[in-house]
Structure 1
Amino acid sequence: MLILEDGNYFKGYGFGSDKETIGEVVFNTGMTGYQESITDHSYNGQLLTFTYPLIGNAGINRDDHESVFPTTKAVIVKSFARRPSNWRSQMNLDEFLKEKEIPGLTGVDTRRLTKVIREHGAMKAILTDETEDIETLLERLRNTELDHDQVAQVSTTRPYVSPDKGKKVVVIDFGLKHSILNELNKRACHVTVMPYDTKAETILNLDPDGVMLTNGPGDPTDLPEVLNMIKEIQQKVPVFGICLGHQLIALANGAKTYKMNFGHRGFNHPVKEIATGKIAFTSQNHGYAVEAASIDPAFLRVTHTEINDGTVEGLRHRVHPVFSVQYHPDAAPGPHDAEDLFDQFTELMDSWKGGNLDA
């Protein structure tokens, strides 16, 4: 049974791990990419509902993981494929969730569940096989406080290197997706991945050509210690922020963030580039956003907005070599419309070294 803190509950059949779990229930509108989504650390602490009715038909393969140890709290589907059919498949979804100790729930009306989340917002929920005393479970759920150290739970604790002979990029890991590293590797970048709480001095001592601030889970205001690091490095080296990295850049430059009602989670979000009017379909996974009215135009300008709700989707610093986007240009899964942002990052690093910056 899945019980939401507003009192709604859904009965279904368990698969995957049989452990009980509590977290924030959210929904993803993607028709594909379930493996990448489940292994995305931005879903740390969340019960992930797929709106597409059949999940798992291509199985699980070794190549499409976005992390080694996924931390999604649970997977909720209308139906999952017990017999996947794909030449790369190594196991089915049930076997994978058992291996990773992630509980699953199937046989529920995910359309109704999604409508509840859309109306009342993402909220706490408990997935349990105790189905008799709902009121006691509901009280326990409401008295449970969700974690505020989510980035610390998923960030690397030790630096590591993905070597190449190109530009030296330091990646600050707030819960990074492997696809971000893949895009940097495609461009021959020498990548050093550092923990989320690395000090500015340590980063700058590596003599990077640029710094990448990655995606990650949770509320960006839970990371006040990161803001001073960003304030310091942005004066001395190009910085590119993605998703949580975008929100942290905004906070470091005086803007505010807010919790969205149910967030953007899917691969079909249209984003407009203000300068050109170009529309890109994007992959997104975030429950917080930058408050447009809080942006100081003397320091930041908005470069992209979401077509459907006007959310701030991109920022560029007017003084320093810094830009960011709320969506995922690495597009795993999702459309590849925005991959050129990684090229823009490499061009920015070239311009910075050549002294030809134009904010």
Structure 2
Amino acid sequence: MNKWARLVLEDGTVFQGKSFGAAGESLGEVVFNTGMTGYQEVLSDPSYCGQIVTMTYPLIGNYGINRDDFESIRPFVHGFVVREHCEYASNWRNEESLDSLLKEYNIPGIAEIDTRKLTRLIRRHGTLKGVLTTADTPIDSLLESLKAPFMTDQVSRVSTKNMFAVPGQDGPRIVLVDFGAKQGILRELTKRSCDVIVVPYNVGADEIRRIRPDGVFLSNGPGDPKDVPEAVTMLREILGSYPVFGVCLGHQLLALACGADTAKLTFGHRGGNHPVKELATGRTHITSQNHGYAVTAESVQGTDLEVSHISLNDNTVEGLVHKIYPAFSVQYHPEAAPGPFDSGYLFDRFLEQIAQHKKGDATYATTR
């Protein structure tokens, strides 16, 4: 039989439900994801490091777990919250259950709570710290544990420790700076024959120059971009030398390197159904997103950046283009894992920039 578990929020709200996954206690930032599918990609997305993730779609675990849909070597979430946990998977690709995966990596889960109420609470008050526990720890002690400062080293936890290569087939050489990169980014680059060199988050500009890349890709990752100042320094040194494409955290770091600013959102954007408008064409794309911080629109003014995309949900900045150098970025995830494939063309745009840069063409492919 399943044990009981509790989710205790820093404002004193307590949710009691059934435990699945690992027993024990885990602290994290409680967030919600609005995707209807893709719970395995969510669990294995390094950008969720340090967070307790709530799925707003009720039926989770119904197609099990398989090795091909992982976005990293292991899950990084600190807890998993669902309305209905499906114990028995029904899918020909299934290799193990959601419950067994969480047990393997010591991640607690809680089911049969009112996830709609929890989501509305987060939307109203903003993201809250919480503790997910199967122990009988008194509420006062749990609330006291939530007063401690939240972690700021998520990127160093999820980034590769050593440089490694993913050989391509006569395509351009891309340095992928790993702030918590998803496998989907590697798949999209290698699918286009790119020769990819993956480097740690704290790589220096001189080391990038020694690799002699044709372009630099800034990956997604967890946490506050201002907690990665070494990446901002590196970017300021290489901008203009190579075409640069930033995604999610990489987008925010590019903004900081160019003099813009970032701020924490009330509850963030997480899901595979977020509409984004491309200002140059007027087109709307449905995008996959996972971020708690955003570039502030007013801070872009007076920099060498211009806003290229905006969110149609809240008008936040979703894309930037450098006015002088071959550099652009988006806040969302064009690798679509999970999520729609509307934005895959951005990888082609990046390769077009690289080709033009190699020819010495000063007019870069920033629109399509």
Equivalent residue number for residue 262 of structure 1? 267
Q: How many residues in Structure 1 have an aligned counterpart in Structure 2?
A: 358
Equivalent residue number for residue 175 of structure 1? 180
Residue deviations 1:152-192 (CA, integer Å, cap 9, x gap): 01000001110012110000000000000000011000000
Superposition pairs for residues 291-306 of structure 1, below 5 Å?
291-306=296-311
| Counterpart contact for 1:298–1:318, Cα < 8 Å | no
Residue deviations 1:8-45 (CA, integer Å, cap 9, x gap): 11001111111210010000000000000000000000
Matched, 1:348 2:353: yes
Superposition pairs for residues 3-82 of structure 1, below 5 Å?
3-82=8-87
One-letter identity of the residue aligned with 2:189: L
**What is the deviation of 1:106?**
0.8
Equivalent residue number for residue 195 of structure 1? 200
Equivalent residue number for residue 148 of structure 1? 152
| Counterpart contact for 1:254–1:296, Cα < 8 Å | no
How many angstroms apart in 2 are the aligned matches of 1:275 and 1:307? 15
**What is the deviation of 1:100?**
1.8
**What is the deviation of 1:224?**
1.3
Equivalent residue number for residue 219 of structure 2? 214
Q: TM-score, normalised by structure 1?
A: 0.98
Equivalent residue number for residue 163 of structure 1? 167
Equivalent residue number for residue 245 of structure 1? 250
**What is the deviation of 1:298?**
4.6
Matched, 1:87 2:92: yes
Give the secondary structure class of the aligned counterpart of 1:63.
Answer: helix
How many angstroms apart in 2 are the aligned matches of 1:130 and 1:119? 29
| Counterpart contact for 1:36–1:66, Cα < 8 Å | yes
How many angstroms apart in 2 are the aligned matches of 1:43 and 1:282? 18
How many angstroms apart in 2 are the aligned matches of 1:19 and 1:320? 50
Aligned Cα root-mean-square deviation (Å) = 0.9
How many angstroms apart in 2 are the aligned matches of 1:140 and 1:73? 15
**What is the deviation of 1:226?**
1.2
| Counterpart contact for 1:41–1:154, Cα < 8 Å | yes
**What is the deviation of 1:135?**
1.9
Q: Which moved more, 1:256-265 or 1:228-237?
A: 228-237
**What is the deviation of 1:358?**
1.7
Residue deviations 1:202-248 (CA, integer Å, cap 9, x gap): 00111100000000000001111211100111120000000000000
| Counterpart contact for 1:49–1:77, Cα < 8 Å | yes
Residue deviations 1:94-151 (CA, integer Å, cap 9, x gap): 0111112211111111011101111111111001123462122212222x21111110
How many angstroms apart in 2 are the aligned matches of 1:148 and 1:91? 33
Give the secondary structure class of the aligned counterpart of 1:12.
Answer: strand
Unpaired runs of 5+ residues, structure 2, are 1-5
Residue deviations 1:315-353 (CA, integer Å, cap 9, x gap): 010111100000000001100000000000000000000
How many angstroms apart in 2 are the aligned matches of 1:84 and 1:35? 13
Equivalent residue number for residue 117 of structure 2? 112
Give the secondary structure class of the aligned counterpart of 1:59.
Answer: coil
One-letter identity of the residue aligned with 1:157: K
Give the secondary structure class of the aligned counterpart of 1:115.
Answer: helix
How many angstroms apart in 2 are the aligned matches of 1:19 and 1:198? 36
| Counterpart contact for 2:258–2:303, Cα < 8 Å | no
Matched, 1:276 2:276: no
One-letter identity of the residue aligned with 1:158: N
Q: TM-score, normalised by structure 2?
A: 0.96
Give the secondary structure class of the aligned counterpart of 1:11.
Answer: strand
How many angstroms apart in 2 are the aligned matches of 1:339 and 1:222? 29
One-letter identity of the residue aligned with 1:120: H
323, 328, 337: which one aligns with 1:332 = 337
How many angstroms apart in 1 are the aligned matches of 2:278 and 2:363? 18
How many angstroms apart in 2 are the aligned matches of 1:332 and 1:61? 14
How many angstroms apart in 2 are the aligned matches of 1:56 and 1:78? 11
Unpaired runs of 5+ residues, structure 1, are none
Equivalent residue number for residue 228 of structure 1? 233
| Counterpart contact for 1:238–1:352, Cα < 8 Å | yes
> Structure 1 stretches (4+) deviating beyond 4 angstroms?
none
One-letter identity of the residue aligned with 1:149: D
Taking a change above 3 Å as real, the CA distance of residues 239 and 132 of structure 1, as seen in their structure-2 partners, is: closer
One-letter identity of the residue aligned with 2:104: E
One-letter identity of the residue aligned with 1:27: F
